[in-house]
């Protein structure tokens, strides 16, 4: 007899190669890690950069569907504009909701964490996984 443990529905980041249904399921399937990146942090968050920045985030998507465009992962552009001192992202969550709330989406927060080398989960897999998905 064995038990299966599921993460809460809030987990929103796992590797594309290990996404077995919205980053849920038995933990044994997620050897690269899976995390719940906070999306309530104020924008700007972290140390304020002293120059404009641009990141490309590949496959950070919670609701990945293998039947839709499975040969190409979604990408979003995350930027920091020095003139406004604000981070922006091209993802639908940010453009339709978070920009008005003044909060960061998971892509912005991930870019900030990677840039600052901030391991918010005290788990080295977090920064490794960010490095695999953000350039």
pLDDT tens digits along 77-103: 999 999 988 899 998 889 999 989 988
pLDDT of 53 reads 95
Mean pLDDT of 32-37: 74
pLDDT digits (tens, 9 = 90+) for 44-72: 777 788 999 999 987 665 444 445 444 45
> 120 versus 10: which is more confidently predicted?
120
At residue 75, φ and ψ (nearest 5 deg) are: -125, 150
- Residues 88 and 17: their CA atoms lie apart, in Å, by 27
pLDDT of 29 reads 72
- Residues 24 and 8: their CA atoms lie apart, in Å, by 8
Burial class (CB in 10 A: 0-12, 13-18, 19+), 1: exposed
* Res 27 pLDDT > 80: no
The three state secondary structure string of 76-127 is EEEEEECCCCEEEECCHHHHHHHHHHCECCHHHHHHHHHHHCCCCCCCHHHH
């Amino acid at each position: 007899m064995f038990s299966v443990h599921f993460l809460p529905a809030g987990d929103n980041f796992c590797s594309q190669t290990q996404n077995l249904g919205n980053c849920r399921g038995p933990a044994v399937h997620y050897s690269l890690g899976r995390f719940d990146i906070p999306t309530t942090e104020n924008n700007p968050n972290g140390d304020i950069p002293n120059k404009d920045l641009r990141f490309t985030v590949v496959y950070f998507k919670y609701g990945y569907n293998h039947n839709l465009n499975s040969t190409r992962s979604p990408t979003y552009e995350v930027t920091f504009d020095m003139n406004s001192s604000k981070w922006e992202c091209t993802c639908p969550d940010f453009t339709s909701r978070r920009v008005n709330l003044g909060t960061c989406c998971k892509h912005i927060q991930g870019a900030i964490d990677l840039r600052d080398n901030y391991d918010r989960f005290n788990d080295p897999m977090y920064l490794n996984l960010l490095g695999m998905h953000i350039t």
